[in-house]
Amino acid sequence: MRVARLESETDFEGWRGHARALLCDQVSPEDVTWQVGKTQDNLFAILDAPAPSRDPDYRPKVSKQFLADAKLALCHRDQERFGLLYRLIHRMQDDPGLLSNTVDDDVIRLNALVKSVSRDRHKMRAFVRFRAVKGEPDTFVSWFEPEHRIVEENAPFFMRRFANMTWSILTPERSAHYDRKHLRFGPGAKKADAPDADALEDLWRTYYGAIFNPARLKVKAMGAEMPKKYWKNLPEAELIAPLIANARKLEAGMVEAAPTPPKRLADYAFSEPGLPPGDALAILRREAAGCALCDHACHATRTVFGEGSLDASLMVVGEQPGDHEDIAGRPFIGPTGELFDKALIEAGLARDALYITNAVKHFRFTPKGKNRIHQSPKVSHIDQCRWWLRAERRLVKPKVTLAMGATAIRALSGRSIPIDEARETGFDCFDGRAGLATIHPAAILRQSDPDEAATLYKNLIIDLRRAQKMATGKANDAGDEASSFNHTNP
Ligand code: URA
């Protein structure tokens, strides 16, 4: 009898090494005992040591598919799995096509194990619900009870999916931890180790309630997709029974009722009173990354969200990201941003003391050859994207907002005011806060007359200083003299 000892229940590399040595030594499956961890039994100690394989270069005949299946099957709780897999690989040495014999008992068993683990893996991906850890921005913990030992196998998926978060997934036998750089595994945990229910769960309930469509209710299909055993850890599951019970009434109501705007996941950013603004902004930013409210969102590379100080008394709003911003994901970093930065310096304003954003968060363009030519957003885009601007303003609460250009004026005031007029009189933003206006820096870059461009640039600096003074009550040290604009090299 040979004893093959594995380090853990999911020690695939260990199993593979033993299988290779056993095949090389032509050991029959019936003559192998598979054990996990250290044995308590001294009798076995004599037999423990893995017999050295006679030929270290020996390579058994094995397909990639079998190895992939074996890796999954090893995560199953079936006690016999190590032996089954060895029996299969042993038989495959004489019968390489064995796996295609779908009526073979061992193959049937293997396929059942793989199917069950794959399903559990899929359910974990669908049903892990993270809870925010209070006081630790962007840190989330989830409790999940998988049917099989799939934590290590599944963790890389969560690492890719939630790459910008620090997270832990706790399960009764194993835990996975990711700190945005490294994935680590630790022992199992208890449900109580995960944070208490939080507002994020309300959000899931809101979301689930919003997507539940009574007119398309299929109870059986729902049960198959969200089996009952997962319900206890799913915040939204408590809605299922009442939603089903109410479905017919809701359906009738839906037919009668006027359409109502759905609540958004990002409402969570405002639903928890104690949530630090930085966390709330992170939630908004993450949510906005998937925004597809308007019809040009899908053409842009990414959502370019605002950035800067959440304590800023001055918010600066541009039109929409340009080509460079769309690629880098940050506002005002291309040629227009360079001119804007130069103007800020000359006006004596520190960029990181401001909150800088755009009225529209996606780049709108027409492709021309290899280039993407800027297109102004439509009014409908401005109106749709105002939701995000409003959310940013609820967090930053700027005393004064400087709108750069017509789009920003429209987004903030809700109406079209000529720039000169808005520049002269200022305007009320939709949330009642004070708005000032100035020329958009891109319009200065587009100006072909150098004298006109220099005048516009001078005005931009004057407007920046004025906005700063109104927002902080202080004129800055740079004085009031505005500067030099070199048209060819801003
Ligand atoms: N123009 C804008 O209005 N915003 C940017 O972020 C870049 C260019």
Predicted confidence band of residue 46 (pLDDT cuts 50, 70, 90): very low
What's the CA-to-centroid distance between 469 and ligand 1, angstroms?
23
Helix 151-161 crosses helix 105-127 at what angle (to 10 degrees)? 40
Which residue type does 415 have? R
What's the CA-to-centroid distance between 312 and ligand 1, angstroms?
19
Q: Is the CB of residue 306 below 6 angstroms from any atom belonging to ligand 1? A: no
Encoded tokens for 103? 């009526």
What's the CA-to-centroid distance between 161 and ligand 1, angstroms?
29
* Confidence check: pLDDT of 198 > 60: no
What's the CA-to-centroid distance between 369 and ligand 1, angstroms?
22
DSSP 41: -
Give me the residues paired with residue 170 across strands: 143, 175
Mean of pLDDT values over 30-50: 67
Domain boundaries, the chain: 2-119, 128-193, 211-256, 269-471
Tell me what pLDDT residue 481 has.
47
Class of domain 269-471: alpha beta
pLDDT per residue as tens digits for the range 349-396: 999 999 999 999 999 999 888 889 999 999 999 999 999 999 999 999
Predicted confidence band of residue 236 (pLDDT cuts 50, 70, 90): low
CA distance 165 to 282: 10
> Cβ–Cβ contacts within 10 Å for residue 198, how many?
18
Is the pTM above the cut of 0.75? no
Burial class (CB in 10 A: 0-12, 13-18, 19+), 40: exposed
Atom of ligand 1 lying closest to residue 442 CA? 1
What's the CA-to-centroid distance between 445 and ligand 1, angstroms?
12
Q: Is the CB of residue 331 below 6 angstroms from any atom belonging to ligand 1? A: yes
Q: Is the CB of residue 318 below 6 angstroms from any atom belonging to ligand 1? A: yes
- Contact between 139 and 166 under an 8 Å Cβ cutoff? The reply is yes
Closest of 103, 109, 33, 36 to residue 70, by C-alpha? 109
In angstroms, the Cα distances linking 141 to 134, 164, 171, 178 are 11, 14, 11, 10
CA distance 44 to 54: 22
Q: Is the CB of residue 357 below 6 angstroms from any atom belonging to ligand 1? A: no
Task: Determine which of 139-143, 249-253, 405-409 has the lowest per-residue pLDDT on average.
Answer: 249-253
* Confidence check: pLDDT of 170 > 60: yes
Atom of ligand 1 lying closest to residue 441 CA? 1
